[in-house]
Amino acid sequence: MKRVIALAAGLALWSCEALAYRPFDSTDAAVADKGTWEIELEPVGWRHDDNGTQWVSPAAIFNYGFAEGWEAVLEGRNNIFAHGGAEFSDAAASLKTVLREGGLQKKDGVSIGSEFSVLLPGIGTDDGAGLEWTLLASEQTNWGAWHFNLGPMLTRDGRSGIVMGGILEGPKDWIVRPVAELRYEKVFGGEELCAQLIGLIWRVRDGLALDIGYRHARESGRPDEQMRAGVTFDLN
């Protein structure tokens, strides 16, 4: 219960598995409008890896546009194990900004952004603190949108690495659009993660969308399967 309260209160954000833009691990070069809260919520998700079967309930990301072109982000997830026990993981705090306005801001060209994250300790896992900086590029076209992420990271145990991700989305004017993601993460001299995701995003109306995705990953050869489903909505 304390973990759920902590999440609801907003103590959270990224490790190597953040849901930075539902249902993806990567994100886009856009921020919430000034004075607007954008909430990304996963009430219940499913995961199976070396730790066994887990229910993710809940996972949440809180984005707040505190200035023009800037947002603050808090994020994390509560994992409940089928064999008993729970942990609060993937906690972090971030600042995200738009460096160049483009297609995502209804202007010409590529949108460029930047996100700096402090990886926070979890509860029962994710000891220590780390850092990540990511350069973001996005473009919206008639056929859909693409997003690319690239940047260095410092893990919670003090090792350096790199993260890279790419997202493709179907046309924005489709009520339900298909999406896909490729994600690569490498800790130098250590773990390597390769992940693929396919899914759907349903735009119910402006400021409200539902999503579902299936993610298959291998981390240093070990499988990690996830089903993700959630909702994104705005609060002004």
Question: What residues form DSSP beta bridges with 212?
Answer: 200, 229
Token match 């759920």: residue? 4
User: Cα–chain-centroid distance for residue 188?
Assistant: 22
Amino acid letter, residue 18 = A
pLDDT of residue 1: 42
pLDDT of residue 149: 98
pLDDT of residue 220: 86
Angle at 57 between CA 77 and CA 16, to 5 degrees: 30
Q: Could you check whether the bond before residue 58 is cis, i.e. omega within 30 degrees of 0? A: yes
Options 1.10.10.60, 3.50.50.60, 2.40.160.40, 3.10.110.10; CATH for 2-235 is 2.40.160.40
**Is 83 exposed, middle or buried, given 0-12, 13-18 or 19+ CB atoms closer than 10 A?**
exposed
Question: What residues form DSSP beta bridges with 146?
Answer: 139, 168
Tokens (6 digits) for 223: 């499988």
Q: Please state whether beta strands 52-67 and 70-81 pair in parallel, antiparallel, or not at all (unpaired).
A: antiparallel
pLDDT of residue 107: 95
User: Which of 93, 90, 20, 21 is CA-nearest to residue 56?
Assistant: 90
**What count of other Cβ atoms lies within 10 Å of the Cβ of residue 2?**
8
**Is 136 exposed, middle or buried, given 0-12, 13-18 or 19+ CB atoms closer than 10 A?**
buried
User: Which of 1, 108, 89, 91 is CA-nearest to residue 47?
Assistant: 89
Q: Where are the domains of the chain?
A: 2-235
Q: Please state whether beta strands 70-81 and 45-49 pair in parallel, antiparallel, or not at all (unpaired).
A: unpaired
pLDDT of residue 20: 56
d(CA 220, CA 236): 43
Amino acid letter, residue 21 = Y
Residues of the chain scoring pLDDT < 50: 1-19
Per-residue pLDDT of 72-122, as tens digits, reads 999 999 999 999 999 999 999 999 999 999 999 999 999 999 999 999 999
pLDDT of residue 221: 87
Q: Is the pTM of this model over 0.85?
A: yes
pLDDT of residue 11: 31
* Contact assessment for residue 10 and residue 204, using Cβ atoms and an 8 Å cutoff: no
